[in-house]
Structure 1
């Protein structure tokens, strides 16, 4: 088959929407939380999506460049970013590697952001007026890093996060959300690669638990829970479903599930 020649005008025409969305998201994140937050969260989101993108290229799976999703409202200033995979998945190895690459790459940038941002943060008294206070749910990983840096805080005191630290926290939030072992989320890809069609049982259990959390603990999850109910049970099978994963990827799959558990917080925002 003859190789398609590179056409600059065609490339820039396709890339235009991605560039415009990137700029718009940079501006909305800057508007919401300032320049340092914007640079940090954009770096984390971009690294996550490029992890998927380059792994798709490795396995010759057709995928778009990242679409950034701007949102000019607090607390995040963005809905995140996505890529669209349009090609067939050749086997479970490719499915696992593509699903795992995004969260792992994003985490590599989120943890340093948390550490650097915490060193730049201040400690002060909790405001007497609760309406002035936005509390963040603290996943286990965030708590451990915080204790290593600050130790135990005095009674009535809290950390006022620097925008870089908040972006790192948001990076953990995104990582955990994507690692939910459900449907076509990154965690769903990993789970299907590990268990094949048996993963549907895990999907059902995961959706049930998530819906319970949404109803009992945090109504803010309800919209996402409804989306999971509609789309969470579907997962296209790879072309080769028979070849199983090697032991290294199975161990990494367990590690990714542990990362999900220590990065997820049932109540992310305390208003």
Structure 2
């Protein structure tokens, strides 16, 4: 775009909704868990979405700036953030890179947040009155980091997470959800890039397993499970379906699904 074509009023008019949603989400996350949580979780979410955004720019795929989704209720204060891709994806390599970059960058911010936050956290006895006690499910990766930082906890003791550590846990939670190998989630993009139209079989199996988890283990997943049933079977094909992934991307795809398994927890919240 030349200097003559740039219209500041038009640009800032388009960006206004993104800025307002960003500010609103900062306020709701601050209201729910304080300043350090808000700064950390906003950084993780922004890094994830900008990973998608700049990779879309690289492949000339039209995409919006991130939309942040405020929610003035605990425990997270937000529904996360999304970008909307408006253009056609040229090939499977572009689809893979766009899908993979967000979770990878989000994870690069989540893990340091967990480590720093755990150093700032307290180890205290579990209260006898657990009516006000919110327990968090521990993914394998989180448990591994916690043992490295704090060691094995004595019987009857638990970690009371600092807001930074909780934001890191939430970042891990978001990463795992996005890596579900279903539909138009990041994991669905990666799976389609790996398997093409055969990925629909994986989507079907993934949705069925997720629905079983929602019914038997954690009813809180039900709304998300319904959304997956409605939208999870569809994935638009890239323009070029014949170009296959190179070995490095295939290996990275396998690594990303390992990250999903060690980051996902079937029961994230325990009241």
* TM-score bracket, shorter-length normalisation: over 0.9
Question: Displacement, 1:210?
Answer: 0.2
Change beyond 3 A, Cα 1:123–1:270: same
* Alpha-carbon distance, 1:42 to partner: 0.1
Root-mean-square deviation over aligned CA pairs: 1.2
Count of aligned residue pairs for this structure pair: 271
The two structures have a TM-score, normalised by structure 1, of: 0.99
Distance 2:7 2:128 in 1: 61
- Gaps of at least 5 residues in structure 2 are none
Mapped partners of 1:155, 1:263: distance in 2: 25
Tell me the equivalent position of 2:103. Answer: 103
Q: SS state of the match for residue 39, structure 1?
A: helix
- After superposition, where does 1:225-240 map in structure 2 within 5 Å? 225-240=225-240
Q: 1:159 corresponds to which residue?
A: 159
- The aligned residue for residue 221 of structure 2 is 221
Residue 21 of structure 2: aligned partner: 21
> Counterparts of 1:169-188 in structure 2 under 5 Å?
169-188=169-188
| Deviation of 1:4 (Å) | 8.3
1:262 aligns with 2:265: no
* SS in structure 2 at match of 1:223: helix
Match of 1:131 in 2: 131
1:62 match? 62
**TM-score normalised by L of structure 2:** 0.99
2:32 alignment partner in structure 1: 32
1:115 aligns with 2:145: no
3-state SS of paired residue (1:182): coil
